[in-house]
Amino acid sequence: MNRSKILNYVLVVVLLFTVVAGASETRQNDKIVEQNQELKRKLVIQETELIELEDELNKVLEELNEYKNMSKYVLYDVPLTVHEQIMIQNKCSEFGFDFQWYLAMLRQESNYKNIVGAMNNNGTRDYGVAQLNERYHDWQAKLAGLDSYNIMDIEDNVSMSLAQLRWIENRYKLTDINAIYVYNVGSPKGNLTSAHTKKVTKYYNELNNLRIGIDK
Tens of pLDDT, residue by residue over 152-165, are: 999 999 999 999 99
Query: What residue type is 58 in one-letter code?
Result: N
Between 189 and 143, the more confident residue is 143
Q: How many whole angstroms from its chain centre is CA 196?
A: 34
What pLDDT score was predicted for residue 35? 74
- For residues 83 and 34, membership in a common domain is answered with no
pLDDT (tens digit, 9 = 90+) per residue, 137-153? 999 999 999 999 999 99
User: Residues 22, 82: one domain?
Assistant: no
> By the 8 A CB rule, do 99 and 88 touch?
yes
Classify residue 116 by its DSSP letter.
B
Residue 68 has pLDDT above 60, yes or no: no
Examine the fold and report which residue of 70, 98, 129 is the final residue of a domain before the chain moves on: 70
Q: Last residue of a domain, which of 70, 92, 110? A: 70
Structural contact between residues 105 and 200, judged by C-beta atoms closer than 8 angstroms: yes
By residue range, what is the domain housing residue 63?
Answer: 3-70
Per the structure, how many domains does the chain have? 2
Confidence of residue 216 (pLDDT cuts 50, 70, 90): very low
Residue where a domain stops, chosen among 70, 93, 119: 70
CA distance 15 to 17: 5
> How confident is the model over 44-61, as a mean pLDDT?
76
The answer as to whether 48 is a domain residue is: yes
d(CA 127, CA 91): 19
Query: Cβ distance 97 to 178 under 8 Å?
Result: no
Percent of the chain with pLDDT over 90: 55
141 and 154 housed in the same domain = yes
129 in the same domain as 54: no
Element (H, E) at 126: strand 126-127
User: Do 169 and 187 sit in the same domain of this protein?
Assistant: yes
Q: Which residues contact 79 (CB under 8 A, 6 or more apart)?
A: 111, 112, 113
Helix (H) or strand (E) holding 132: strand 132-133
Helices 176-185 and 154-172 pack at an angle, to 10 degrees, of: 110
Rounded to 10 degrees, the C-alpha dihedral 70/200/77/66 comes to -10
